[in-house]
Amino acid sequence: MRRRSGPWHSCPRTSFSSGNVRNILLEVRKNRGIGEVFSDLSFIFVQQTLWMNNIKRMETVNQLIDRLIDLAFAEDIGDGDHTTLSCIPTDATGKSRLLIKEAGVLAGVEIAKEIFHRFDPTMKVQVLMQDGAEVKPGDVPMVVEGKVQSLLQTERLMLNVMQRMSGIATMTRKYVKRLEGTHTRVLDTRKTTPGMRMLEKQAVKIGGGVNHRIGLFDMILLKDNHVDFAGGIDKAIERAKTYCKEKGKDLKIEIEVRNFDELRQVLHIGGVDRIMLDNFTPENTRKAVEMIGGRYETESSGGITFDTLREYAECGVDFISVGALTHSVKGLDMSFKAC
């Protein structure tokens, strides 16, 4: 096993501080048992500390993925994979192949390589098919060679990630093909699995879709609740513009409208980059696009299904956001077998 500063293999006793919260998470689990973890106030305190620490600094995509891998190993392996450790010699070596069992779009190859190498840098990964490739049952995108103990302990995390990402990429590719011949692009949303947003957003891109905002930090999206709490569309837009100027933020501003009255207000006030047409019918969407006249980007959202997707695209909107790309997708079937 790779010896590194990650939390899942080495957890010295320490105090509760933001710099040590990842180590503490495993320490709590190892010494109290998983049943007590979720009822112990110390666990809640650690999670709050972790969250508060994160909002004080912006982490890179790679840092977030590293933390996800660390946490996934911690919750799966704990103080050891006793099944593997009890029956597989430490010096045994072998090979396993990734076997595709369902047609779809492959995604997660690069992340899988990182999972293997972070756990055991001696593992050798032979990639035979790249992210974005269309696969069918019987395809073998990857062969991995190394210690058998390492192959067995990394199998489930690798499969969980690749099945999830490939399912999202497959669904996205289906939607993208449905839009062929129009200028409309399909967008994802923030309806993602907690902790896996970066991977799921990456899977959308692999499938040919476009990422909407990554989180709450990289775009201003004035939705109905923001408008209502702010006291109206004019106040919401002006406050957003003032905030960006005062904070030195170069952020795009998008606003959601629910009807033609709100759309007319936005067109009169201006100061936004994109207008989201929420729960408009196709007929009203076409009329709204004509009213906007290319002055702002347009996005359709709300109640749009695969069957109605193209009808909305043919109304001339620039984007259609689809939460289903990530929130209810089925993983692509695949396995990791000894060879």
Token pair, residue 211, equals 């990422």
Per-position DSSP letters for 237-252, written without gaps between them? HHHHHHHHHHHT----
Residue of 146, 145, 142 whose CA lies nearest to 91: 146
Per-position DSSP letters for 236-299, written without gaps between them? HHHHHHHHHHHHT----EEEEESSHHHHHHHHHH---SEEEEET--HHHHHHHHHHHTTSSEEE
H-helix or E-strand spanning residue 148: helix 148-178
Residue of 297, 299, 304, 295 whose CA lies nearest to 324: 304
Residue type, 201: K
- Quick check: helix, strand or coil at residue 229? helix
Catalytically annotated residues:
156, 191, 223, 256, 278
Question: For residue 182, which phi and psi values (nearest 5 degrees)?
Answer: -115, 170
- Quick check: helix, strand or coil at residue 80? coil
Count of CB atoms within 10 A of residue 233's CB? 24
* Strands ordered across the beta sheet of 220-222: 185-187, 319-321, 297-301, 274-278, 253-257, 220-222
